[in-house]
């Protein structure tokens, strides 16, 4: 398949390229596309996902025995905490 694509590209054969796509490419159902677009109304296009902060869980002697994932409520606070160590 890769060799065929290379031949089509080197020859600049647009008709052969179109025939290959018409025969093998999948097509999205317009109704499905419209449904997805309708469902995404009001959803932000860009979302920042913050990983949780890991806090140490200590035993009675002060040894680390586990870690606890704590949600990060504020991006600015987390960035200041991260950069304080540098």
| Cβ atoms within 10 Å of 72's Cβ, excluding its own | 14
pLDDT at position 51 = 87
- In DSSP terms, 53 is beta-bridged to 70
Contact yes or no for 54/69 (Cβ under 8 A): yes
15-27 pLDDT per residue, tens: 988 998 888 888 8
For the record, the structure tokens of 24 come out as 């093998």
Report whether pLDDT(48) > 80: no
For residue 64, what is the enclosing H or E element? strand 64-70
pTM of the model: 0.40
Q: How far apart are CA 59 and CA 26, in angstroms?
A: 58
Among all chains, which residue has been given the structure tokens 């606070």? 77
């Amino acid at each position: 398949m890769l060799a065929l694509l290379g031949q089509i590209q080197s020859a600049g054969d647009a008709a052969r390229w179109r025939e290959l796509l018409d025969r093998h490419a999948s097509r999205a159902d317009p109704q499905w596309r419209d449904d997805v677009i309708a469902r995404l109304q009001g959803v932000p296009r860009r979302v920042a996902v913050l990983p949780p902060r890991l806090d140490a869980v200590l035993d009675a002697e002060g040894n680390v025995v586990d870690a606890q994932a704590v949600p990060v409520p504020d991006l600015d606070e987390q960035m200041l905490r991260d950069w304080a160590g540098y």
